[in-house]
C-alpha cells in the first residue's frame, strides 16, 4: 500500500465514521456500537474495503452489516460531498471480529490466571 492510498484510507475512515454517527438514520445502526477499524483503498482508488467492528449480539450484528451494505450508495454520495478527491472509491463493508476475539482471549487469560491464584 502506497503512502497516498494510506492517506486516502485514513480520510475515508474519518469521514465515514462521522457520517455514520451523525447522518445515517437506519434503525439497525442506531442501537449498536460501530467502529471502523481500517480502510484499504485499491491502488486505482476505485474501491475501498471498509473493515467494520459491530459490538452487539449476532442478530443485531448481521442486521447492522446488512444496513451498512444497503446504505452504501448514500454513504458514497456523502463521502463524495465531503472529500476533495478526483476519484472517490466505492465502498465494500467487511465485518471485522478482531476486537471480539481479543476480548474473548483476554477473558480466557483472566480465567486461567484466577484458577492459578494470580490476577491479570
Task: Tell me which fold the domain 3-115 belongs to.
Answer: GMP Synthetase; Chain A, domain 3 (3.30.300)
Task: Tell me the pLDDT band of 80, cut-offs 50, 70 and 90.
Answer: very high
Q: Is the pLDDT of residue 120 over 70?
A: no
Write out the chain in H/E/C secondary structure: CCHHHHHHHHHHHHHHHHHHHHCCCCHHHHCCEEEEEEEEECCCCCEEEEEEEEECCHHHHHHHHHHHHHCHHHHHHHHHHHCCCCCCCEEEEEECCHHHHHHHHHHHHHHHHHHCCCCC
Domain ranges within the chain, ordered by starting residue: 3-115
pLDDT digits (tens, 9 = 90+) for 45-79: 999 999 999 988 889 999 999 999 999 999 999 99
Amino acid at each position: 500500500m502506497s503512502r497516498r492510498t494510506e492517506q486516502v484510507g485514513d480520510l475515508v475512515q474519518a469521514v465515514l465514521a462521522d457520517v455514520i454517527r451523525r447522518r445515517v438514520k437506519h434503525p439497525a445502526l442506531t442501537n449498536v456500537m460501530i467502529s471502523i477499524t481500517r480502510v484499504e483503498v485499491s491502488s486505482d482508488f476505485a474501491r475501498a474495503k471498509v473493515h467494520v467492528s459491530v459490538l452487539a449480539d449476532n442478530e443485531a450484528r448481521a442486521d447492522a452489516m446488512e444496513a451498512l451494505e444497503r446504505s452504501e450508495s448514500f454513504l458514497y454520495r456523502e463521502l463524495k460531498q465531503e472529500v476533495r478527491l478526483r476519484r472517490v472509491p466505492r465502498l465494500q463493508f467487511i465485518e471485522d471480529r478482531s476486537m471480539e476475539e481479543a476480548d474473548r482471549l483476554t477473558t480466557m487469560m483472566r480465567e486461567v490466571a484466577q484458577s492459578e491464584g494470580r490476577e491479570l
